[in-house]
Structure 1
Amino acid sequence: MPSFLTRYATPLTIGLFLVSLVSGVALFFHVQSGLFKSMHEWLSLVLIVPVGLHVWKNWRPMLSYMKRAPLAIALVLSLAVSGVFMANAAMSGRTGGNPAIALIGKLQQNTVEAVAPLFGHTGDSLVETLKAKGFQVASADQTLDEIAKASGKGPFDIAGALAGR
């Protein structure tokens, strides 16, 4: 195990940190979020393992850091800044999640008849539009979720069809 620690702890920490850095920046700037979100979340969790190995490998120097003020100051500042972000989110009522996804979820719960005017249609014309796009629609009284499931498609498929894509 010590040779593994010596050989791989720091390189894996650096490699996974770089992946986390690039994916985090891409997510921050909303660049190809679908490509980066899952990777960023999972590999950031995996990063815990090599960081733990790196700390274990370098335990004596870490003890030396713990005796000095810079580490304590850095940890307190990091916690304070993260606390500010959490407090801001809590006070603004944001609990997380993409609001567009939540909106699609709410839309899916409604019938074709109810959402048709939002897309410049009557219930019957939206039924025909959805059928033309490959959806199995029995009536305008079906919910969009029921139609997507009956058609073997997902919520984003029907949302795309409604958006004209």
Structure 2
Amino acid sequence: MQISRDWATPLTIGAFVLMACTGILMFFHADLGLHKEVHEWLGWALVAGVIAHALANFASFKRYFAKPAALAIIGVFMVILLGSALIQEEENGKGGNPGRRATMAVLNAPISDIAPLAGQSAQALLADLQKAGFKVESPSQTLISVTGPEQPNQFKALAVIFH
């Protein structure tokens, strides 16, 4: 199958404009509505567009891997990618993502301590979590002991609590 520049390039340009705009809005905390979700999910369109564009222009594309300056620029971004995966945010004290630290504080708190934050009694919260399918036996359990380490379960429980 021949990949056409007629659609690969516009796909790349359109997806890039979308990613750039939503990324800048999120950076400045000015995102509205579904910008974050659009950015995350339609980022795949940028990936597809770049792959298609690279394949449609393969002869030109592969020449960049013979140029020292191009390799240095690509290398810098690979080092940043590797570093961002290896460097952990500080979990205690100052530093790190405050939203993540707040979420971890709630997940590690006993359900009885979370209830006032949600404006509910501990027993009502316990019943809501059980109704949502979580095996919780006591308000003294931490939320993370109920959800386990899986983020989807954690977010589901948080959605039940802070509905």
8 Å contact kept, 2:106–2:114: no
Select the structure of larger CA radius of gyration. Answer: 1
1:159 matched to 2:140? The reply is: no
- Residues 67-125 of structure 1: per-residue CA shift (max 9 Å, x gap): 211221111111122334334x4263569x84444455556x613xx456x56xxxxxx
Distance 1:141 1:44, change over 3 A: closer
1:147 to 122, 128, 131: 128
Displacement after TM superposition at 1:32 (Å): 3.0
Q: Distance in 2 between matches of 1:80 and 1:50?
A: 24
Distance 1:149 1:17, change over 3 A: farther
Displacement after TM superposition at 1:44 (Å): 1.1
Q: Distance in 2 between matches of 1:28 and 1:145?
A: 37
Q: Distance in 2 between matches of 1:19 and 1:150?
A: 40
Distance 1:142 1:61, change over 3 A: same
Q: Distance in 2 between matches of 1:146 and 1:84?
A: 43
Structure number with the higher helix fraction is 1
Distance 1:64 1:141, change over 3 A: closer
How much is the aligned-residue C-alpha RMSD, in angstroms?
3.6
Which residue number corresponds to residue 47 of structure 1? 46
Displacement after TM superposition at 1:53 (Å): 0.9
Displacement after TM superposition at 1:42 (Å): 1.2
Runs of 5+ in structure 2 lacking a partner? 133-156
Which amino acid in structure 1 is aligned with residue 10 of structure 2? P
TM-score of the two chains, using structure 2 as the length reference = 0.61
Q: Distance in 2 between matches of 1:85 and 1:102?
A: 20
8 Å contact kept, 1:104–1:159: no
Q: Distance in 1 between matches of 2:71 and 2:50?
A: 18
Which residue number corresponds to residue 59 of structure 1? 58
Q: Distance in 2 between matches of 1:142 and 1:19?
A: 46
Which residue number corresponds to residue 72 of structure 2? 73
Distance 1:90 1:148, change over 3 A: closer
Runs of 5+ in structure 1 lacking a partner? 120-125, 131-139, 161-165
- Residues 28-80 of structure 1: per-residue CA shift (max 9 Å, x gap): 22223662222111111232211111011101111222221122111111112
Q: Secondary structure at the match of 2:88?
A: helix
8 Å contact kept, 1:145–1:155: no
